[in-house]
């Protein structure tokens, strides 16, 4: 029988993206909703951006309020509360490289989930929102696959 290796269930998860203004705060809010209680979830960026109104709007569509999110960097997070995460999920190449540097001497798992950045999508407002929705929905799908209950196999 060839079972897939069991993935370690983390106690604390950090989502990292480029500026902590779209992908990582979306992912953190979605994970908090998907796996409530008992799991510490945070987000940070390789650099600091500004709150993004499109991200706020599409998260509001699914009942999640990220309007009070204040983007911050990994260094600011480390200064504020330390850097003790079981799992870091990176959503952008620059975040992934930074996470690998930060965890070189730690026993922290790092997973890379390439996630498109909807910032910069041009066109009508609705087209821009669709790009943010696609990012949100893609993150939710990955979160459910990674953190959802184990599937029951019929053998």
CATH number, residue 26: 3.40.50.2300
Q: How far lies 51's CA from each of 37, 68, 72, 87, 141, in Å?
A: 26, 9, 10, 24, 24
pLDDT score for 123: 85
Among the ranges given (87-91, 121-125, 138-142), the one the predictor scored with the smallest mean pLDDT: 121-125
User: Per residue in 40-58, pLDDT tens?
Assistant: 999 999 999 999 999 999 9
Share of residues in the chain with pLDDT > 70 (%): 90
Let me know if residue 93 belongs to a domain.
yes
pLDDT at 152 over 60: no
- Cα 2 to Cα 99: distance, rounded to the nearest angstrom: 31
Closest CA to 147 of 111, 103, 96: 111
pLDDT score for 96: 95
Give me the number of domains the chain comprises: 1
pLDDT at 155 over 50: no
Let me know if residue 97 belongs to a domain.
yes
CB neighbours of residue 90 within 10 Å? 26
Let me know if residue 60 belongs to a domain.
yes
- Cα 108 to Cα 99: distance, rounded to the nearest angstrom: 10
pLDDT at 32 over 50: yes
pTM strictly above 0.85: yes
Let me know if residue 6 belongs to a domain.
no
pLDDT score for 1: 45
Let me know if residue 102 belongs to a domain.
yes
pLDDT score for 7: 57
Which pairs with CB-CB distance under 8 Å and at least 24 residues apart come from 77-83?
A: 77/14, 77/42, 77/44, 81/42
Let me know if residue 41 belongs to a domain.
yes
Within 13 Å of residue 52, how many CA atoms lie on the same side as its CB? 22
Determine the length of the chain: 155
Let me know if residue 69 belongs to a domain.
yes
pLDDT at 83 over 60: yes
Confidence band, pLDDT 50/70/90 cuts, at residue 5: very low
Confidence band, pLDDT 50/70/90 cuts, at residue 107: confident
Let me know if residue 36 belongs to a domain.
yes
Structural domain boundaries enclosing 51: 12-146
First to last CA, the chain: 11
pLDDT score for 120: 84
Confidence band, pLDDT 50/70/90 cuts, at residue 8: low
């Amino acid at each position: 029988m060839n079972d897939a290796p069991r993935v370690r269930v983390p106690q604390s998860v950090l989502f990292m993206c480029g500026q902590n203004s779209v992908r990582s705060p979306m992912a953190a809010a979605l994970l908090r909703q998907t796996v409530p209680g008992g799991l510490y979830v945070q987000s940070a960026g390789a650099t600091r951006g500004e709150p993004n109104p499109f991200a706020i709007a599409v998260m509001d569509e699914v009942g999640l309020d990220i309007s009070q999110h204040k983007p911050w960097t990994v260094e600011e997070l480390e200064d504020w509360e330390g850097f003790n995460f079981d799992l870091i999920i990176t959503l952008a190449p620059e975040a992934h490289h930074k996470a690998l540097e930060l965890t070189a001497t730690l026993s922290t798992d790092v997973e890379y989930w390439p996630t498109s950045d909807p910032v910069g999508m041009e066109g009508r407002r609705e087209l821009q929102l669709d790009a943010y929705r696609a990012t949100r929905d893609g993150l939710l799908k990955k979160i459910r696959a990674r953190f959802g209950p184990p599937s029951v196999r019929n053998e």
